[in-house]
Amino acid sequence: MLAYDKPIRLSKLDAGPKPAAKAAGLNVLQLAQLLWRRKTAIAFAALIGACAAIAIGKSLTPKYLATAQLYVDPRELQLVDRELTPRSQDISGLAMVVESQARVITSNSVLMQVIKDTRLDKDPEFGGASIGPVAKLLGLLGLHMGSSAPTALAETAALDALGRHINVKKTDRTFIVDIDVWSYDPAKAAMLANAISNAYLAEAKNSQSIAARRATNDLSGRLKELQDRLRTAENALAIYKAQNNFVGTQDTLITDQQLLASNQRLAAARAATLEAQAKYDQIEASRRNAGDAGAIPEALQSPTLGNLRAQYAEARRKLAEMTAELGPLHPALRQMEKQVEDLRRTINEEVDRFTQSAKNDLARARDYETSLTRSLEAQKRQSVQLSHASVRLRELERDVEASRDVYQSFLKRSRETQEQESLNTSNARVIGEATVPQRRSFPPPMTVLAAIGLVLGGLAAAGWFTGVELLSSEIAGQASDQAMRVRPAAETPALPSKTSETGFPPSAAEKPGIARLQEADVIRTLGGILASSGPPDLTQLGWPTLRAATPLTTFLTSMRDMREALSRRSAANVAPVMAVIGQGLGRDRSIVTVNVALAAARDGARVLMIDADPERRALSNKLAGTAECEAKRLSWLSIGGKAERTIKTRNGIEVLPIAGPGAFAATGKAIAQARASTDYDLVIVDGPALPFSAEGRKLIDVADGLIGMLSASFDVDGCMDDILAGLDGAEHKLIGVIINELHSVPVQPVRSAAYA
């Protein structure tokens, strides 16, 4: 139960805080003061370093760097249809080809050719024997001293030295390769760079010729074997054809041609037989019908039969005339009748000859058809036999064709590669010859060396003085600790009641203040109606806020006492942090927070108010509904991260509406920035809300003091017990309690006996 006439007992604070150990080391201000005191020595050391750097630069042998540029296009010249190696059109593949060529430039074959062309094995800079005065004198007399080192060892030494003098690099996203060669002689550096580029081009051409020659030799070696294989296959095919009577043209065999011709002749014979049969049947039908036997096409076409029929017609005409004129027994009439009869018999005999001829033609056609049928059957049997034998024939033909194709392909490719031996398809060329360098590449200019020596000398001196200062402080601290350990307990001085530098509270049993926020202290307005553009007015939000023209009230006096207690608990020269916590609606706690901020602003304090309730967001939502707000960032304190925006109000208070994911982390960051800034005298945090989460606990640990809000609509004693239980070890930070007696929507209103 909360008693107004007795202080709140906080058993966990009886033991008192432990003094913090002094942090070892130097802060930025102390380091700056130390370096300023030693500025003369540091400047002298920097000057010595600059002089030493210049002296070292003068003593070093200068090096000169010459650069030759090559354009290595992996897309080689298309001189023939088929190249020895396929070309890659992929970008990564082309880049790999250029990088590989860059490695070829530093290969032993290229560098050895350079050594032979330029006689680097005799150069002292590349491992050759130096010429002494005696050797020079003998050389003037025409005598030369023999070299004691073998030629192979000299070339190996020159190769190793030349490799250290070369740096080949490829420009990004291009086909340009730079060949950098350094030497103590500028003319020699340019000469070596050009010699290396020329040796690489010659090596590229030589490697292509060698590859083409090797391919030609390999193909030619296989031609004899392929030729013998083709000849063997063709002989086997010819022998098999002769054995199985496969005779014919390239397209068809004779048997197939004969079979086709016999089939055609048989069809013609069958047609002739049918024609003869039809002719014979027609003649026989005419004779059986007792009609005119000469009324057939053959008879009508016969001139003999035509004459006989004409004579027969004439004789019958005369017979008719004579019959009309003479009697039946007249000798002339009988003679004429006999003549007509003879003509009829002659016509019938002629027709019989046509009939016999048709019969003979029919028999001959049938015999010819029969012979053709027998011949065709024999040819069919022979064709079936040849079909079985042609299976093996086709296998032999396929073998011959395959052998011929392979042989022809190898023969053609051998001729192509033989011609490619004399072709240079490489598309690499020198686009920039090395020129004699006019400036040395090492050591740097004297001005750069002097600047480097100056900086290094100054840093060395500053580091030396800083280390000496730290070592002296550590030794003094160890001596002081040893003296404290050997000093009697009675002589140990008592700890001061307030250590503002560390922020510990002066007394764990200090009584928290109690304030009452009543209706007489506030005024209510209609939020949004009186709102205007520009910075918002906290007294026009529609919440009950402190009256502006009232004299000093009990609530304002209590707020001053709580701020004084907060200042005693906070560190010096930093803005103290006050957190308003409590149970009930988040709106009630936010109203109390706004009035606490207004009370501090009325006394002239620069206040930063932070909304640390990410769930209810009563303060943030209220400000979001106001007119256009003037916002600014938290100045330079957010370097390296995104600065939060504060909202300026007309009451001299800045509000930071932090809510949503990461609200507690943003709140902690904003508090740290506000403490480091000189723009604020007080930081008031709205929250966190009960029950405290892990992030809320961290926020309570950051705050210098806590104010508990107790709503008169709830059980005051129960709410106070819940606040103390939620603090769990942080009760010593409680600097005051505010009883909210403003009229609000009650939720299960319960008044305790102590409050009554």
> Does the pLDDT of residue 756 top 70, yes or no?
no
The mean pLDDT value for 612-639 works out to 60
Which of the two residues, 405 and 750, has the higher pLDDT score? 405
The pTM assigned to this predicted structure is: 0.40
- Whether 433 maps to a domain, the answer reads no
Are 335 and 478 in a shared domain? no
Task: Please provide the average confidence, as pLDDT, over all residues in the chain.
Answer: 76
Percent of the chain at pLDDT exceeding 90? 8
Q: What is the pLDDT of residue 285?
A: 74
Please list, in sequence order, all residues whose beta carbon lies within 8 angstroms of the beta carbon of residue 336, skipping any fewer than 6 positions away. Answer: 315, 318, 319, 322
- Contact of 128 with 138, CB cutoff 8 Å: no
> Does the pLDDT of residue 660 top 70, yes or no?
no
Q: Which of 28-37, 52-61, 134-143, 498-507 bottoms out in mean pLDDT, i.e. has the lowest?
A: 498-507
Pick from 231-240, 485-494, 623-632, 661-670 the range whose average pLDDT is largest.
Answer: 231-240
- Contact of 51 with 453, CB cutoff 8 Å: yes
Indicate the SS3 state at residue 750.
coil
Question: How sure is the predictor about 483, in pLDDT bands with cuts at 50, 70 and 90?
Answer: very low
Are 568 and 601 in a shared domain? yes
- Please confirm whether the linkage preceding 688 is cis (ω < 30° from 0): yes
- Domain of 355 in residue numbering reads as 254-420
Quote the number of domains for the chain.
Answer: 3
Are 565 and 706 in a shared domain? yes
- Whether 434 maps to a domain, the answer reads no
Of 491, 506, 531, the domain-final residue? 491
> Does the pLDDT of residue 479 top 50, yes or no?
no
- Contact of 408 with 400, CB cutoff 8 Å: no
> Does the pLDDT of residue 252 top 70, yes or no?
no
The mean pLDDT value for 733-740 works out to 89
> Does the pLDDT of residue 691 top 70, yes or no?
yes
Q: What is the pLDDT of residue 625?
A: 57
Q: What is the pLDDT of residue 684?
A: 92
At 523, the amino acid letter reads I
Q: What is the pLDDT of residue 683?
A: 92
> Does the pLDDT of residue 25 top 70, yes or no?
no
Are 592 and 671 in a shared domain? yes
Question: How sure is the predictor about 507, in pLDDT bands with cuts at 50, 70 and 90?
Answer: very low
Percent of the chain at pLDDT exceeding 70? 74
The mean pLDDT value for 291-309 works out to 65
Are 447 and 486 in a shared domain? yes
At 704, the amino acid letter reads D
- Whether 148 maps to a domain, the answer reads no
- Whether 745 maps to a domain, the answer reads no
- Whether 470 maps to a domain, the answer reads yes
46: Cα within 13 Å, side-chain hemisphere:
14
The mean pLDDT value for 44-54 works out to 91
Question: How sure is the predictor about 576, in pLDDT bands with cuts at 50, 70 and 90?
Answer: very high
Are 457 and 591 in a shared domain? no
Q: What is the pLDDT of residue 294?
A: 56
CATH code (residue 659): 3.40.50.300
Rounded distance, CA 67 to CA 437, Å? 9
Are 338 and 401 in a shared domain? yes
Taking only the tens place, the pLDDT of each residue in 631-645 is 444 443 333 334 457
Are 409 and 449 in a shared domain? no
Rounded distance, CA 651 to CA 684, Å? 15
Taking only the tens place, the pLDDT of each residue in 323-364 is 888 777 888 888 888 888 888 788 777 777 777 877 888 888
Q: What is the pLDDT of residue 80?
A: 54
Are 447 and 322 in a shared domain? no
The mean pLDDT value for 456-484 works out to 71
- Whether 394 maps to a domain, the answer reads yes
Are 730 and 647 in a shared domain? yes
The mean pLDDT value for 98-126 works out to 87
Please list, in sequence order, all residues whose beta carbon lies within 8 angstroms of the beta carbon of residue 347, skipping any fewer than 6 positions away. Answer: 293, 294, 305, 308, 309, 312
Strand partners of residue 253: 248
- Whether 212 maps to a domain, the answer reads no
Q: What is the pLDDT of residue 637?
A: 36
Backbone angles phi, psi at 485, to 5 degrees: -70, -35
Question: How sure is the predictor about 532, in pLDDT bands with cuts at 50, 70 and 90?
Answer: low
Rounded distance, CA 51 to CA 657, Å? 59
Q: What is the pLDDT of residue 6?
A: 45
- Whether 569 maps to a domain, the answer reads yes
Which of the two residues, 147 and 655, has the higher pLDDT score? 655
Which of the two residues, 381 and 436, has the higher pLDDT score? 436
> Does the pLDDT of residue 138 top 80, yes or no?
no
Q: What is the pLDDT of residue 88?
A: 52
For residue 153, what are its two tokens?
Answer: 């060892």
Query: Which of 334, 406, 437 has its CA nearest to residue 67?
Result: 437
Taking only the tens place, the pLDDT of each residue in 380-404 is 777 777 777 777 777 888 888 888 8
Q: What is the pLDDT of residue 51?
A: 92
Are 470 and 529 in a shared domain? no
Please list, in sequence order, all residues whose beta carbon lies within 8 angstroms of the beta carbon of residue 120, skipping any fewer than 6 positions away. Answer: 114, 126, 128, 158, 161, 162, 192
Question: How sure is the predictor about 191, in pLDDT bands with cuts at 50, 70 and 90?
Answer: very high
The mean pLDDT value for 698-704 works out to 87
Are 569 and 680 in a shared domain? yes
> Does the pLDDT of residue 183 top 50, yes or no?
yes
Question: How sure is the predictor about 47, in pLDDT bands with cuts at 50, 70 and 90?
Answer: very high
Rounded distance, CA 401 to CA 414, Å? 20
